[in-house]
């Protein structure tokens, strides 16, 4: 016989269970849900895989009701946001990599919450918000002309709230999953050729060349360029040690690199070494002084650097580039020079090699047919260049 459940606990059997067909015994693994009555309202918890977990939820909910606290079912999205944001600011709530949130990321989350989410959904209870509600928000933003990236950024604070609610078992499912976002054509970042990169550097004022060359030939991010110090640069060894970045908020200053892989050593090619040496001699800076700072201890302003470069390139009739585009150019030049994906991932400071493949895989040489040709060449003990595409030995090889 099926056993009787305690007060406030209900069970749910699977469709194939014998009890669904009037059988006396359970032949499945049922799930359980607890509920309590709160001022005439029935508050239900999520379905749990065991009766003990459902009873634990009910016991905690009863304690919170007795203490006058709100149960998880009563927490609004605004309350959950305030709790999450305070924890993320203090560092007690880490990101998915277990690291502290970057100030720039938190500023983006706060802005998205304040401008687009709070008025729309802030007063709604977390437990009441369904995927349909979020899809409706996505659709309204799309109809108002918001891009896919803007909508993605808007959803970021909602995603972290619901991921946390699921982990704490306040809700059973995450409604931010499988939302349909509008498609958009991705704007390709401009990548300069080897010849264009050299021309872009030459057209700049002498005091700006080392900065752009470090981006074009070293691939450092904008924040990493702003935080670079002469103590990080070893011209004799031909390396730059990247160990910090600079946040756009003046009140924040130096921060950890964007990812764990952001701490790295980047090679200095001779063309860059000459420009860095000339820049060091021109500025007279050394040690802990900023390499490219507006002063020895104040970082350069990206807008000023960009404006000066645009003026120089316009005068020279050259197609302009952003600092981010210069970083992409560095990756493309390394690929063209024969760098393998793992080495490129390390030099670029990616969190994992999959990021390198996703961003730059289309630039890497070789096709499926070429892979077969190279394998055949290896197996017959000849160089790949010495074979016809069919695998026959080239004449004169």
For 190-229, write each residue's pLDDT tens digit.
889 999 999 999 999 999 999 999 999 999 999 999 999 9
Encoding tokens for residue 204?
Answer: 């700049």
Q: Is the pLDDT of residue 25 over 90?
A: no
Q: How confident is the model at residue 184 (pLDDT cuts 50, 70, 90)?
A: low
Q: Is the pLDDT of residue 188 over 80?
A: no
Distance CA 88, CA 106 (A): 8
Q: How confident is the model at residue 32 (pLDDT cuts 50, 70, 90)?
A: confident
Q: How confident is the model at residue 371 (pLDDT cuts 50, 70, 90)?
A: low
pLDDT digits (tens, 9 = 90+) for 94-137: 888 788 888 888 999 999 999 989 999 999 989 889 999 999 99
Gyration radius of the chain over CA positions: 29
Q: Which CATH number fits domain 194-362: 3.40.50.720, 1.10.443.10, 3.40.50.10900, 1.10.260.40?
A: 1.10.443.10
What confidence score (pLDDT) does residue 308 get?
96
First to last CA, the chain: 83
Highest mean pLDDT among 216-220, 251-255, 341-345, 390-394 belongs to 216-220
What confidence score (pLDDT) does residue 104 get?
86
Indicate the range of 203-212, 273-282, 363-372 predicted with least confidence.
363-372
What confidence score (pLDDT) does residue 369 get?
59
What confidence score (pLDDT) does residue 223 get?
92
pTM metric for this prediction: 0.60
- Domain residues of the chain, as ranges? 9-73, 77-167, 194-362
pLDDT digits (tens, 9 = 90+) for 4-23: 788 889 888 887 787 777 77
Q: Is the pLDDT of residue 69 over 90?
A: no
What confidence score (pLDDT) does residue 393 get?
42
pLDDT digits (tens, 9 = 90+) for 139-174: 999 888 888 888 999 999 999 999 988 887 778 789
Indicate the range of 136-140, 223-227, 252-256, 361-365 predicted with least confidence.
361-365
CATH of domain 77-167: 1.10.150
DSSP 121-165: HTTSBGGG--HHHHHHHHHHHHHTT--HHHHHHHHHHHHHHHHHH
Q: Is the pLDDT of residue 386 over 60?
A: no
Q: Which of 164, 185, 208, 160 is nearest to 308 (CA)?
A: 208
pLDDT digits (tens, 9 = 90+) for 291-305: 999 999 999 999 999
> Within the chain, where are the H helices?
51-66, 77-90, 103-112, 118-121, 131-143, 148-167, 194-202, 206-218, 222-227, 270-283, 302-316, 323-336, 341-348, 353-360, 368-379
Query: What does the angle CA 270 – CA 272 – CA 274 come to, to the nearest 5 degrees?
Result: 70
Q: How confident is the model at residue 376 (pLDDT cuts 50, 70, 90)?
A: low
Distance CA 237, CA 267 (A): 9
């Amino acid at each position: 016989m099926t056993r009787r459940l305690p007060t406030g606990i209900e069970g749910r059997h699977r469709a194939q269970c014998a009890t669904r067909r009037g059988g006396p015994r359970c032949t499945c693994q049922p799930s359980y849900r607890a509920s309590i009555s709160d001022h005439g309202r029935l508050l239900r918890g999520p379905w749990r895989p065991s009766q003990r977990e459902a009873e634990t939820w009910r016991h905690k909910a009863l304690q919170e009701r007795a203490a006058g606290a709100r149960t998880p079912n009563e927490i609004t999205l605004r309350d959950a946001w305030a709790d999450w944001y305070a924890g993320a600011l203090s560092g007690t709530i880490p990101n998915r990599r277990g690291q502290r949130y970057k100030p720039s990321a938190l500023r983006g989350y706060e802005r998205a919450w304040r401008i687009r989410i709070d008025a729309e959904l802030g007063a709604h209870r977390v437990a009441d918000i369904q995927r349909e509600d979020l899809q409706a928000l996505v659709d309204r933003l799309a109809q108002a002309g918001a891009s896919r990236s803007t909508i993605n950024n808007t959803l970021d604070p909602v995603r972290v709230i619901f991921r946390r609610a699921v982990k704490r078992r306040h809700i059973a499912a995450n409604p931010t999953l499988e939302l349909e976002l509008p498609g958009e054509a991705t704007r390709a970042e401009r990548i300069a050729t080897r010849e264009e990169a050299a021309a872009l550097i030459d057209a700049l004022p002498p005091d700006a060349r080392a900065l752009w060359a470090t981006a074009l030939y070293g691939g450092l991010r904008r924040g990493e360029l702003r935080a670079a110090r002469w103590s990080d640069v070893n011209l004799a060894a031909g390396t730059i040690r990247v160990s910090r970045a600079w946040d756009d908020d003046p009140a924040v200053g130096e921060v950890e690199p964007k990812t764990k892989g952001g701490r790295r050593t980047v090679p200095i090619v001779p063309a860059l070494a000459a420009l860095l040496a000339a820049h060091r001699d021109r500025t007279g800076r050394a040690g802990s002084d900023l390499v490219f700072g507006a002063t020895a201890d104040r970082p350069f302003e990206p807008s000023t650097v960009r404006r000066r470069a645009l003026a120089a390139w316009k005068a020279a009739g050259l197609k302009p580039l952003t600092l981010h585009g210069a970083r992409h150019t560095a990756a493309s030049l390394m690929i063209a020079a024969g760098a393998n994906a793992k080495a490129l991932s390390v030099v670029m400071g990616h969190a994992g090699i999959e990021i390198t493949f996703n961003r730059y895989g289309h630039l890497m040489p070789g096709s499926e047919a070429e892979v077969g040709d190279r394998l055949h060449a290896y197996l017959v003990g000849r160089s790949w260049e010495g074979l016809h595409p069919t695998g026959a030995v080239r004449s004169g090889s």
